[in-house]
Amino acid sequence: MSDAKRFPCCVCATPLEVRETKKGKPYVICDPCGVQMFVRNSEGIRRFETLLAEARDSDIWTRLAGLERRYRKKCPECRNDFWIEEKLIKTSIMDGSFQGYRCPKPGCKGIVKMEAAKK
């Protein structure tokens, strides 16, 4: 799959192969997420082609991989993958120091510790 014909899933950012319908219109399908995106009219197709070129020219795949390494974590308890966000910050009740990120999965008490979050 070449970079020129890949587009990130809008839900999980997985690189998706850009396919064409029988009428030559572009579409992508992300099987794990169930997302399907079909570009139907000529203006949308033109804009989509521009996005594909920008993704290729700016090396978006390297940038996305870097973001994922820095901001996507795995819970040590339930092994759930999640993106870190401000509301998941866990601080010490004693001194307010940063301890890590709470797992967002309901019922899970896992915390990605500060040391693990730096990796």
Q: What is the domain extent for residue 11?
A: 3-58
Mean pLDDT of 48-64: 85
Confidence check: pLDDT of 3 > 60: no
Give yes or no: residues 86 and 50 share one domain: no
DSSP letters, 3-60, are: GGGEEE-TTT--EEE-EE-TTS-EEEEETTTTEEEE--SHHHHHHHHHHHHHHHHTTH
- Side by side, the strands of the sheet bearing 98-102 are 89-91, 98-102, 111-113
Reported pTM: 0.57
Please count the structural domains in the chain: 2
78 shares a domain with 51: no
Position 63 in a domain: no
pLDDT tens digit sequence for 68-93: 888 889 999 999 999 999 999 999 89
Alpha carbon of 32 to those of 13, 15, 36, 86: distances in Å? Answer: 11, 12, 11, 26
In a domain, 67, yes or no: no
